[in-house]
């Protein structure tokens, strides 16, 4: 179900170590964050690095590089500039860099309130818009289509 397992802390005999061993048995990558040699909570992860060849991780970039996901990460960054569907594209037409209330977007777009709310939520998660209080939204960036029309 996954490409790898990352162990942050694992005392000896912990479930995290059991999970890591299962991952190794299934030829999955195992990663571990090095912890203090004085901490019992770090002992298992440190031993994974020493004994089983778990890859030492110092940042998320280490995992992305090891799993060759840098290209995927770049594609995801680019995807954030595009509305995901027609509802998001329709709602985004009404959201500017000045705050606008969700009710105003619903009225002017002629979309169902649930459609507008869902689209705004998804776009907020993707970093296209942000709620600035009182159910008012602002745009955080232009989309690729708007860049191309300039």
Mean pLDDT of 56-76: 75
Mean pLDDT of 52-75: 79
Residues in Cβ contact with 129 at an 8 Å cutoff, skipping those fewer than 6 apart: 92, 95, 120, 123, 137, 138, 139, 140
Q: Which of 9, 58, 49, 59 is nearest to 29 (CA)?
A: 49
Domains of the chain are 4-76 (no CATH), 80-148 (1.10.10.10)
Q: What is the pLDDT of residues 73-124, one digit of tens each?
A: 555 555 555 567 889 989 999 999 999 999 999 999 999 999 999 999 988 8
**pLDDT beyond 50 at 67:** yes
| CA pair distance 80, 128, nearest whole angstrom | 7
Q: Which of 119, 140, 122 is nearest to 130 (CA)?
A: 140
**pLDDT beyond 70 at 1:** no
Sign of CA dihedral 88, 93, 134, 131: positive
**pLDDT beyond 90 at 62:** no
Please, which pLDDT band fits residue 33 given cuts at 50, 70 and 90?
A: very high
pLDDT of residue 147: 36
| CA pair distance 79, 113, nearest whole angstrom | 25
Question: What Rg, from alpha-carbon coordinates, does the chain have?
Answer: 22
Residues in Cβ contact with 106 at an 8 Å cutoff, skipping those fewer than 6 apart: 112, 113, 116
Please, which pLDDT band fits residue 71 given cuts at 50, 70 and 90?
A: low
pLDDT of residue 72: 54
């Amino acid at each position: 179900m996954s490409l790898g397992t990352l162990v942050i802390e694992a005392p000896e005999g912990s479930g995290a170590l059991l999970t890591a061993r299962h991952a190794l048995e299934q030829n999955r990558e195992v990663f571990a964050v090095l912890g203090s040699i004085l901490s019992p909570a770090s002992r298992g992860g440190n031993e994974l690095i020493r004994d089983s060849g778990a890859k030492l991780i110092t940042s998320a970039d280490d995992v992305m590089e090891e799993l060759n996901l840098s290209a995927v990460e770049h594609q995801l960054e680019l995807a954030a500039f595009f509305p995901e569907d027609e509802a998001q594209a329709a709602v985004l037409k009404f959201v500017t860099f000045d705050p606008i209330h969700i009710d105003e977007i619903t009225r002017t777009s002629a979309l169902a309130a649930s459609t507008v709310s869902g689209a705004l939520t998804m776009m907020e998660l993707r970093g296209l818009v942000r709620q600035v209080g009182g159910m008012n939204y602002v745009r955080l960036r232009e989309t690729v289509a708007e860049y191309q029309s300039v």
